[in-house]
Chains A and B, each alone.
Chain A
Amino acid sequence: QVQLQESGPGLVKPSQTLSLTCTVSGGSISSGNYYWSWIRQPAGKGLEWIGRMYTSGTTNYNPSLKGRATISRDTSKNEFSLNLSSVTAADTAIYYCARVDYGAPGRYFDYWGQGILVTVSS
């Protein structure tokens, strides 16, 4: 059973960089036909896809974030991370990490972390 767990600061100051880590157990982030993704959800609102990293290390990002997002990984720890620079209050949200089974017919998000609330405030 694959499990994902987000961790990181719950409070970030405006203009600083938000840094979160997703620790994966029950599966390797560097093998198989999977994407490892970040998704966020402002309170009371819908879901926004931030970006993803393939098992090869290739990344894709949502253009709406205007180059502020970077996804990286530490394969020795089986973790992948999100850095979001120059944050504003609009980046306050619950951040989820999730896996995509790219070999499946629907290429769906099959495993999700529990989510972590990040508030941007001085």
Chain B
Amino acid sequence: DIQMTQSPSSLSASVGDRVTITCRTSQTISNYLNWYQQKPGKAPILLIYAASTLQSGVPSRFSGSGSGTDFTLTISSLQPEDFATYYCQQSYSTPRTFGQGTKVEIK
């Protein structure tokens, strides 16, 4: 199985802050890396696919980068609606695996 290591596991930030979340995989996955946002009581929603492509309808303050084993999700200016938990997910091989999540909280 491909192991996914997200960091940090949680962070506190203020509205307007730049936030960066990293995801490292245990083996190279090219760009088969997706990012999801999950709010309490809701299913995850897709933010970024193929490491760096913004899903339709997702605000442009979200961006993704990386290839191989190291990936980054960046929120350029945190908004109140962005407080949530973020997960990376690899789609390179089965079993599909997710990072453990990064909870973004209000400072």
Give the shortest distance, in Å, between A98 (CB) and chain B (any CB): 8
Number of interface residues of B (CB under 8 A): 26
Residues 80 to 113 of chain A near chain B (Cβ within 8 Å) = 96, 98, 100, 104-110, 112-113
Check if B49 is an interface residue, CB within 8 A of chain A: yes
Output the residue of A98, A109, A112 with the most chain B CB within 10 A.
Answer: A109
**A112-B53 in contact (CB<8A):** no
**A25 within 8 A of partner (CB):** no
Residue in contact with B34 in the complex, picked from A46, A63, A108, A115, CB distance below 8 Å: A108
Binds A, one of B10-18, B19-27, B75-83, B89-97: B89-97
- Give the dominant DSSP class at B's interface: loop
Instruction: Answer whether A105 and B50 are a contact pair too, CB < 8 Å, given A48-B98, A113-B43.
Output: yes
Contacts of B95 in A (CB 8 A): 49, 60-64
Total A-B contacts with CB atoms under 8 angstroms apart? 65
**A47 adjacent to B43 (CB under 8 Å):** no
Query: Could you name 30 residue pairs across A and B whose Cβ atoms are closer than 8 Å?
Result: A46-B98, A46-B99, A46-B101, A47-B44, A47-B89, A47-B101, A48-B98, A49-B97, A52-B94, A63-B95, A64-B95, A98-B43, A104-B50, A105-B31, A105-B50, A105-B53, A106-B49, A106-B50, A106-B51, A106-B53, A108-B46, A108-B91, A109-B34, A109-B36, A109-B44, A109-B46, A110-B46, A112-B43, A112-B45, A114-B43
